[in-house]
Structure 1
Amino acid sequence: MPRKKTLSLVLAAVMSFVLVLAGCSSDKAGDPAAQASPGSSGSPQKDPNLNPVGTYPIVKEKVTLKVLAPQLPDVIDFSTNGMTKWLEEKTNVHLEWQTYQANQPEQLNIILASGDFPDLFIGTSLSAVNEQKYGVEQRLFLPLQDYIENDTVYLKKLLGERPDLKGYLTATDGNIYGLPTVNECYHCMYGNKYWINQSWLDKLGLKTPTTTDELFDVLKAFKERDPNGNGKPDEVPLAGASSGGWHHIVDSFLTNAFFLSNDEDVLNMVLKDGKIQSNVVTPEYRDSLMYLHKLYENGLLYNASFTQSVDQLKQLANSEEEVLGAFPAGAIVNIIDGAGNPERYKHYTALAPLKGPGGVQYSTYYSNFPYAAGSFIISAKSKHPEVAIRVADLFFNPDKEYGEGTLWRKAEPGEVGITGLPARTKRLKPYSNEPQNDTWSYIGEPFQTSEARLSDAVDPSIDPYSPEGLEKLLMRETKDKYEPYAPKDVSLMPSLKLLSEEMDVLSTLRVELENYAKESKVKFIMGNLNFESDWDAYVSGMDRIGLGKAIGIYQIAYERQFKS
């Protein structure tokens, strides 16, 4: 499982500080970013104090960079931190830290109101809204593409090898304002999973379902044949949650048997043959709702699945009597605690994507999940942008440097990673949320690929269903049951950067479309709307609200961002 992060708090803080920046930086005279254009992010004359690119130290005479970062609960002091000391010794660059409590953005406002702007923002994730407003429109952040080209080694190589990243980083004006955050959690990218009660299947002599029809029969047996053996009709064949948690929406896994579904997007926007489409008005969507209605009217789909919270789903799954047949979750531990309820935890196994009546069988691949911008942002007012970008570049070295012998070591012959392949490294200190002063926590690791994460040496004999074996369980189930069904002819709509006027239109339009689509979905499933007499009116309603207009905006944004 990915480590617990405070990204939502950081984003809230960023929104606060950029408001202060807007009020303090209206004068663009002499600002190298003010006249920047795509492909021309400002190339000032090289500082003679700089050593050649890719050599260390970065500078001949020590340079001080002012740095702004969120104070994380698991980092004691950035100024005395082991990673800071290593970085300063290697680069000859002193970091003068300013921090703010990530959950108290008013502290950040006080710092910025002083007018003492940093050279470098670290770990302050850059939302598309803030990038557009304070990068594109107000030029408070420095365009970075020329600096990446001329002053980096690892970033330049990364973007050359991973051209897909460039699209995620590119703003609406063609510039790059924030360096990438890459956190490729393998099993997370296939997080839309179902978990089915294997002990009930075994007791009733049933095979694991592979089609939507077979699942119907299995759930019916769960309801009617008393698999928990208490003589009561208390079994709940299938249940989900409507809010909270991680991939707990009950319908998305099932609708992958009809079309590529996304439980994180009510409008189910996808990209096919270079065109943005919405699945929520298609014949396939109608067929999927008819299947869900069939489950519901036969008492196989828990009626509270569209209203209950994830905590209520947990209560159902962990009740004294074992009553739950199947549920959606990115990881089983999100619903059933392997340490607190170990026997029941072992009763469930992941269910591979089902084949629908038309032969469709997708697993949702969240290709957007691991990518974001803003691990490092350089102020347009910085006097040392080349130094700042070179400091940032160190963090994109795929071969670790810091911490060898104390935090990690190179793998020894015979050691294997979680995939069973030869390991590359062995972690000497486990991940922890406890305060420490060795690293910068997650903001010190902006570039983590699946290959690197999965190549850390582990005990090959560990039981996947033990609390320590969770990652092994999730990796195995993902590799065997979900990755083989990743879509090849269609993908989820990528994260798109919008102009301010486009945001203004969609801010209202999407809410209206999502509310109507969500309400109608539940009504069709529960039988309050009729598929014969009400479907056409629903489709017309989506068109009247403006689904076509929304798709048009996204299409323009996609072509601007990924095709330009």
Structure 2
Amino acid sequence: MRKFTKAAAMLCAAAMVIPSASVFAAEDGGASELTEVGTYPISEEPLEFTMFRTNMPNVEDFQTNDFTKYMEDLTNIKFTFEAVARDDRAEKLNMEFNTNTYPDVIMHYAPDAAKWGVEEGILIPLDDLIEANMPNYMEKMGQYLDQMRETDGHIYQLAGLNECYHCQYARKMWVNTKYLDEMGVDVPQTTQEFYDVCKKFVETYPDKIAIGGASSGWYVDFVAWLMGSFTLDSGEYGKLALTPDGEMVSAATTEEWREGLRYIKSLYDIGAIYDGNFTQDSEQLRTIMNQEDVPVLFVPFGTISDGIDSDSNNEVYRQYQCISPLEGPDGTRITPYFKYSGLETGSFSITDKCSNPAAVLRWVDYFFSEKGDISAQFGADEGKDWVWEPNDGSVGLNGEPAMYKISDDAQYSSEVQNHDWQDLVIRYAPAEYRLGAATDPDVDTGTSAGLEKLLYDATKEKQEPYGQNPENGDLDVLPDLKMTADESTELQTIQVEVKNYINSAKVAFITGTKSLDDDWDTYLKELDACGLQTMIDIYQAAYDRQFKAE
């Protein structure tokens, strides 16, 4: 493993090919204008920057947010935010890069570092700047520095750590148990039982929706969940996955995938699948879920709180229960274990337009302080929003003495608020911290205060036992792979075309406009024409470089 101190020598060697703004950033970054590292304010004179970031419906306005004001007062640094919806951010930011209208800073989204950093020099290398300006980050994240390096040896993006247990098994399906009780049926455990329940629901409630879903949002794809009864849907472009031997394959070309689509088509044929699932976004799904007559039986959400608010619609919230993946015809029963998701390797970038990278890095270093993450998540008013190290005997989800206690008023909610930033920030949340939130062992999981326990229990009981196991021959999810600039450029168009074709073909096969018997070979040929094999070869080369090189 390379030592971090080697980065300085590597950076000097590369200086001649890095744009002049990046050279300045690497050598000083404006540090001479600032107060002592680790002290606040960061600058005696006010500093202003622009930031591109992800938006979310339950944060009203980052510009006027209470936590934004807190950070401005603490650091003497002000940001003007461009907040973009999750599904639009890639296209939007790439357009800004191409038109030279990009901001100083990018947070909670990872632009292509191989292209925009290594090749174009728009994202600046951060190697020496991190060491000089981020003591909290070095202490907490220093062990991960080598995993952040691109193929040229430099670091262009800070990583966050969010070891969220329930997020590592985020592909959840929820069922309205009120309807199950009314129909006199149990929670289905197999694909056949699921089919039977859906059929009875359609016959009993012909004006309601047996299976809901959306085309965009946080784990709202019903097809992906149902595929767990046939094969692993990794969620990657091209549905790429690894065999136990480390070979890259596309699950979307396998017979298991075809049989999964055949099963889902059978559900569509009985009227169990709402056509809107293929085009609506998660907000539209949420609107349907909150209609007065509660029209949905099964619905996928990473957390049910994204679909129904526990406070304003509590009766309905309590009706939904997480279910286990279904056992398929051959015994397959997989819920993806996204084991690499804790390390978020592209959470923060600085562009060559930034006039003072050192100040920006000192600003973001706050989030890696003892109380930085909790303040961003729940509000910065210690004692009111949260208490650190409560001395009231509280225990965390893990049964250990609680690290902190969140007030009832500051608990996470899907309702619109303007007090904090929620998850839309670079995070430092290791497992012991996530599980260290004070939780009454007897907390009512039907309330907002019980959400973390609800998700923890559902994950532990309904999902973890079914995570993929390569030792048993299962396909596996991909680790973070670093591409060269050439590879990244070649993938840029291929990935989108492959993804779009798989999605459109999936809908066509399920709805019957394409035949799984007559059109399957054509589908495979079209995937090759889109560049799927090239994509597989590039990913294989990157994997071999990182994990098979001697």
TM over 0.5: yes
Counterpart position of 2:79: 99
Alpha-carbon distance in 1 for matches of 2:362, 2:176 = 52
Q: 1:86 to 1:362 in 2, by over 3 A?
A: same
Counterpart position of 2:125: 143
Q: Say if 2:63 and 2:81, in contact at 8 Å, map to a contact too.
A: no
Q: 1:65 to 1:365 in 2, by over 3 A?
A: farther
Q: Report the residue type matching 1:100 in the other structure.
A: T
Counterpart position of 2:177: 198
Counterpart position of 1:271: 242
Alpha-carbon distance in 1 for matches of 2:21, 2:299 = 55
1:542 matched to 2:542? The reply is no
Q: Say if 2:350 and 2:357, in contact at 8 Å, map to a contact too.
A: no
Q: Report the residue type matching 2:187 in the other structure.
A: T
Matches within 5 A, 1:51-130: 68-70=49-51, 73-74=61-62, 97=77, 99-103=79-83, 124=107, 127-129=110-112
CA offset digits 1:50-103 (Å, max 9, x no partner): 99xxx96699x998795635499456699996556666xxxxxxx5x3532425
Question: By how many angstroms is 1:195 displaced?
Answer: 1.1
Q: 1:208 aligns with which of 165, 179, 187?
A: 187
Q: 1:447 aligns with which of 412, 416, 428?
A: 428
Alpha-carbon distance in 2 for matches of 1:180, 1:369 = 11
Q: 1:186 to 1:235 in 2, by over 3 A?
A: farther
Alpha-carbon distance in 1 for matches of 2:22, 2:305 = 50
Q: Say if 1:144 and 1:177, in contact at 8 Å, map to a contact too.
A: yes
Counterpart position of 1:10: none
Q: Say if 2:396 and 2:402, in contact at 8 Å, map to a contact too.
A: yes
Counterpart position of 1:348: 320
Counterpart position of 1:373: 346
Q: Say if 1:122 and 1:443, in contact at 8 Å, map to a contact too.
A: no
Q: 1:68 to 1:259 in 2, by over 3 A?
A: same
Alpha-carbon distance in 1 for matches of 2:152, 2:227 = 37
Q: 1:183 to 1:208 in 2, by over 3 A?
A: same
Q: Say if 1:196 and 1:326, in contact at 8 Å, map to a contact too.
A: yes
Q: Say if 1:171 and 1:561, in contact at 8 Å, map to a contact too.
A: no
Question: By how many angstroms is 1:235 displaced?
Answer: 5.6
Q: Say if 1:523 and 1:529, in contact at 8 Å, map to a contact too.
A: yes
Question: By how many angstroms is 1:349 displaced?
Answer: 0.8
Q: Say if 2:117 and 2:156, in contact at 8 Å, map to a contact too.
A: yes
Q: Report the residue type matching 2:264 in the other structure.
A: L
TM-score by length of 2: 0.73
1:254 matched to 2:226? The reply is yes
Question: By how many angstroms is 1:285 displaced?
Answer: 0.5
Larger Rg over CA atoms: 1
Q: 2:388 aligns with which of 395, 404, 409?
A: 409
Q: 1:28 to 1:419 in 2, by over 3 A?
A: closer
Runs of at least 5 residues in structure 2 that lack an aligned partner in the other structure: 1-14, 53-59, 94-102
Question: By how many angstroms is 1:175 displaced?
Answer: 0.8
Counterpart position of 2:476: 491
Counterpart position of 2:334: 362
CA offset digits 1:92-134 (Å, max 9, x no partner): xxx5x353242599xx9xxxxxxxxx9xx666456333x3345
Matches within 5 A, 1:211-360: 211-224=190-203, 226=204, 233-234=205-206, 236=208, 238-262=210-234, 264-265=235-236, 267-272=238-243, 273-310=245-282, 313-314=285-286, 316-360=288-332
Question: By how many angstroms is 1:179 displaced?
Answer: 1.9
Counterpart position of 1:187: 166
Q: Report the residue type matching 1:557 in the other structure.
A: A
Q: 1:308 to 1:144 in 2, by over 3 A?
A: closer
Alpha-carbon distance in 1 for matches of 2:392, 2:365 = 31
Q: Say if 2:35 and 2:43, in contact at 8 Å, map to a contact too.
A: no
Alpha-carbon distance in 1 for matches of 2:548, 2:456 = 34
In terms of mean alpha carbon deviation, does 172-181 or 305-314 score higher?
305-314
Q: Report the residue type matching 2:240 in the other structure.
A: M
Alpha-carbon distance in 1 for matches of 2:199, 2:421 = 52
Q: Report the residue type matching 1:487 in the other structure.
A: Q
Question: By how many angstroms is 1:305 displaced?
Answer: 3.3
Percent of aligned pairs sharing the same letter? 31
CA offset digits 1:398-456 (Å, max 9, x no partner): 577997657633122520234554311124682687666xx998788631234313312
| Number of residue pairs the alignment of both structures matches | 494
Alpha-carbon distance in 2 for matches of 1:147, 1:543 = 44
Question: By how many angstroms is 1:281 displaced?
Answer: 0.4
Alpha-carbon distance in 2 for matches of 1:512, 1:29 = 32
Alpha-carbon distance in 2 for matches of 1:31, 1:376 = 15
CA offset digits 1:494-524 (Å, max 9, x no partner): 4544444434433332333233322322232
Q: Report the residue type matching 1:455 in the other structure.
A: G
Question: By how many angstroms is 1:457 displaced?
Answer: 1.9
Q: Report the residue type matching 2:315 in the other structure.
A: E
Q: Say if 2:227 and 2:233, in contact at 8 Å, map to a contact too.
A: yes
Question: By how many angstroms is 1:548 displaced?
Answer: 0.4
Q: Say if 1:378 and 1:388, in contact at 8 Å, map to a contact too.
A: no
Q: 1:383 to 1:260 in 2, by over 3 A?
A: closer
Alpha-carbon distance in 2 for matches of 1:78, 1:300 = 44
Q: Say if 2:214 and 2:285, in contact at 8 Å, map to a contact too.
A: no
Q: Say if 2:38 and 2:362, in contact at 8 Å, map to a contact too.
A: no
Alpha-carbon distance in 2 for matches of 1:336, 1:380 = 41
1:472 matched to 2:453? The reply is yes
Counterpart position of 1:13: none
Alpha-carbon distance in 2 for matches of 1:282, 1:99 = 48
Alpha-carbon distance in 2 for matches of 1:337, 1:378 = 38
CA offset digits 1:330-370 (Å, max 9, x no partner): 22233344444433332221111112222222112344655
SS at match of 2:321: strand
Counterpart position of 2:410: 430
Runs of at least 5 residues in structure 1 that lack an aligned partner in the other structure: 1-24, 88-94, 109-117, 227-232
CA offset digits 1:442-490 (Å, max 9, x no partner): 7886312343133122444432113443333223212221233222324
Q: 1:412 to 1:33 in 2, by over 3 A?
A: same
Q: Report the residue type matching 2:193 in the other structure.
A: E
Alpha-carbon distance in 2 for matches of 1:443, 1:199 = 34
Question: By how many angstroms is 1:243 displaced?
Answer: 3.0
Question: By how many angstroms is 1:238 displaced?
Answer: 2.6
Alpha-carbon distance in 2 for matches of 1:291, 1:149 = 54
